[in-house]
A and B are shown apart, each in its own frame.
Chain A
């Protein structure tokens, strides 16, 4: 069985359990909010909430550089720190944090394979104690936007068929049957998908226990949908967090050279006046 292209970006629960208290590591639980963290978290872990700490809360955007520096400084992180991210929903929001940390150039970021679910299922140690760390003076690098897609780039890709578009939402969101995941607020005016996109729900990359599928399984999964190393792949979802998970899989586990996360995603495209929209199932490849 082939190895992941970058196995160094994943850690297993056993490994982390043996590293608790290691000062060179900062473990961070990342979720939409800190409700799960408050119930119990990995000892030594701090919490980041997607809705308040990992987005610009005024305009729709990723964290500004100064705010990311403040977040990492408060956590006592230095450029040499190994950051281990984990969270609920098989690391959805942890993957968002990973993507953003890579935009700002942090070198050693890793995901806990299986996330919070696997740690809990294995009956490992948890605590409600919130640690505090001596603050640092973190300086981020200038943003590397080569891993982020903006609307004009996606529009050009649609016009020129110059990239593989992977919609990682559920099949019902993809077809337009529903406008948001069941039970969540509708955030767009139209349902459907970007013309030409293939539907590979993010969760297909995971096993039942939350860990990532093998390299061979992932290669077969995405290869069947036309994803290959020869051209750019654009991943999108509704708000960009599920697609950051798929971005991680394609870039780091499969090692594709040019993968971007379109974080504007369907909340941007599905609200655009005049944007082309396809509804229903995806057309077969080559159609």
Chain B
């Protein structure tokens, strides 16, 4: 069985058009993985892998922005 270890595990949180998004990134083997979730409640919105951290984060963030753009706030 071929095994690998994750490296450079990191999390950061940012505001995307009023929504909190958490990017969780790590390196596994020769690629980087980034997952975007919506913090509250924490549902995964996007997950991408790429040759660089920037590429993986950019794609995950782009999809998260697209999905969050469809969310409607209502007056309560």
Interface on A for B, CB 8 Å cutoff? 32, 35-36, 39-40, 43, 88-90, 92, 117, 120-121, 123-129, 169-173, 175-184, 186, 191-192, 201-203, 242, 279-280
**Nearest CB in chain B to that of A125: its residue:** B3
Chain B 10-52, CB within 8 Å of chain A: the 1/0 string?
Answer: 0000000001000010101100010101101111110101000
Would you call A183 and B38 a contact (CB within 8 A)? yes
In the assembled complex, the Cα of A127 lies from the Cα of B42 at a distance in Å of 25
The count of residues in chain B whose C-beta lies closer than 8 Å to any C-beta of chain A is 35
Tell which of B26, B28, B35, B43 has the most Cβ of chain A within 10 Å: B43
With beta carbons under 8 angstroms apart, the residue of B3, B41, B76 that contacts A169 is B41
Q: Shortest 9 CB-CB distances between A and B: which pairs?
A: A183-B67, A170-B40, A182-B38, A170-B41, A183-B45, A181-B43, A125-B3, A120-B6, A183-B68
Would you call A191 and B9 a contact (CB within 8 A)? no
Chain B nearest CB from A202 CB (Å) reads 7
With beta carbons under 8 angstroms apart, the residue of B3, B5, B71 that contacts A182 is B71
Chain B nearest CB from A95 CB (Å) reads 13
**A128 and B2 contact, Cβ closer than 8 Å, known pairs A181-B43, A203-B42:** yes
**A183 and B43 contact, Cβ closer than 8 Å, known pairs A40-B28, A123-B7:** yes
**Nearest CB in chain A to that of B64: its residue:** A183
In the assembled complex, the Cα of A156 lies from the Cα of B42 at a distance in Å of 31
Would you call A280 and B5 a contact (CB within 8 A)? no
**A178 and B41 contact, Cβ closer than 8 Å, known pairs A128-B2, A129-B1:** no
